[in-house]
Amino acid sequence: MYSFTTPDNIFTPIPGASVTLAPALIGVVALGTISNGITTRLSIPVTAKIRLLLVFSATFVGLSLIKTITGYASEGVRIS
């Protein structure tokens, strides 16, 4: 997750607000394989006019002819 407070649209990563999914998708991945993860106990101050941006990305390691992941991603954030 990233945030910015100035009107320049330059977002900064929020420390600790990342998730590593498990299991890792390694080698030939069977259709229907599900990876998931969770990050808890973050306490990030959010005030008026702070914008938040959620980014989903994948990292590939090693040699592969096909590097495509198809699926969906979702998230939940509680602001209180």
Contact 25, 33 (CB under 8 A): yes
pLDDT above 80 (res 65)? no
Task: Give residue 13's pLDDT band: very low, low, confident or very high (50, 70, 90).
Answer: very high
C-beta contacts of 56-60 below 8 A and 24+ residues apart: none
Interacting residues of 18 by C-beta distance below 8 A, sequence separation 6+: 1, 39
- CA dist list (Å): 6 to 41, 44, 48, 50, 77: 26, 17, 12, 8, 22
pLDDT the model gives residue 2: 93
Q: What is the pLDDT of residues 15-64, one digit of tens each?
A: 998 888 898 888 778 888 889 998 888 888 888 888 999 898 887 777 66
Total-model pTM: 0.71
Q: Where are the domains of the chain?
A: 1-69
The H or E element spanning position 66 is none
| Residue 53 burial (CB count, 10 A) | 13
